[in-house]
Structure 1
Amino acid sequence: MSATIRLALADDQALVRNGLSALLAGIPGLRIDTQAEDGEALLANLAATPVDVILSDIRMPVCDGFTLVERLRAAGDATPVLLLTTFDEPELALRAAACGAQGFLLKDASPADLHEAIVALAAGKTLLAPVPTDPVRSRYAYRDAGAPTDAFNEREIAILRLLAGGYSNREIAKAVFLSEGTVKNYVSEILDKLGARDRTRAVLKAITLRII
Structure 2
Amino acid sequence: MTAPSSPITVALADDQVLVRAGLRALLQAQGIQVAFEADDGQALLDQLARTPVDVVLSDIRMPGLDGIGALEALRARGDRTPVLLLTTFDDADLLLRATEAGAQGFLLKDAAPEDLREAIARVAAGETLLQPVSTDPVRARYQFHQQDTPRETFSEKEVAILRLLAGGYSNKEIARSIFLAEGTVKNYVSTILEKLGTRDRTRAVLKAITLRII
TM-score by length of structure 1 reads: 0.63
On the 8 A contact 2:166/2:205 being kept in 1, the answer is no
The residue aligned with 2:97 is 98
- How far did 1:103 drift? 1.6
Segments ≥4 residues shifted beyond 6 Å: 184-187
The residue aligned with 1:172 is none
Report whether the alignment pairs 1:159 with 2:174. no
Superposed, 1:1-212 pairs within 5 Å as 3-28=6-31, 30-75=32-77, 77-85=79-87, 88=88, 90-92=89-91, 95-100=94-99, 101=103, 102-106=105-109, 108-123=110-125, 124-126=127-129, 127-128=131-132, 130=135, 131-132=138-139, 136-138=143-145, 141=148, 145-147=151-153, 150-151=157-158, 152-153=160-161, 154-159=163-168, 188-189=186-187, 191-194=189-192, 196=194, 200=199, 203-209=202-208, 210=211
- How far did 1:204 drift? 4.5
Residues 208 and 105 of structure 1: CA distance in aligned 2, closer, same or farther (over 3 Å):
closer
- How far did 1:158 drift? 2.6
Q: Deviations over 1:131-188 (max 9, x none)?
A: 425974349948x75446742344433338xxxxxxxx9xxxxxxxxxxxxxx97984
Residues 11 and 141 of structure 1: CA distance in aligned 2, closer, same or farther (over 3 Å):
same
User: Aligned-pair RMSD on alpha carbons?
Assistant: 4.0
Aligned length: 185
Q: Deviations over 1:86-113 (max 9, x none)?
A: xx4x42355234312302221x444333
- How far did 1:38 drift? 0.8
On the 8 A contact 2:165/2:201 being kept in 1, the answer is no
Gaps of 5+ in 1: 161-168, 170-183
Larger radius of gyration: 2
On the 8 A contact 2:193/2:200 being kept in 1, the answer is no
Residues 141 and 202 of structure 1: CA distance in aligned 2, closer, same or farther (over 3 Å):
farther
TM-score by length of structure 2 reads: 0.63
Residues 96 and 72 of structure 1: CA distance in aligned 2, closer, same or farther (over 3 Å):
farther
Separation of aligned partners in 1, 2:27 and 2:200: 39
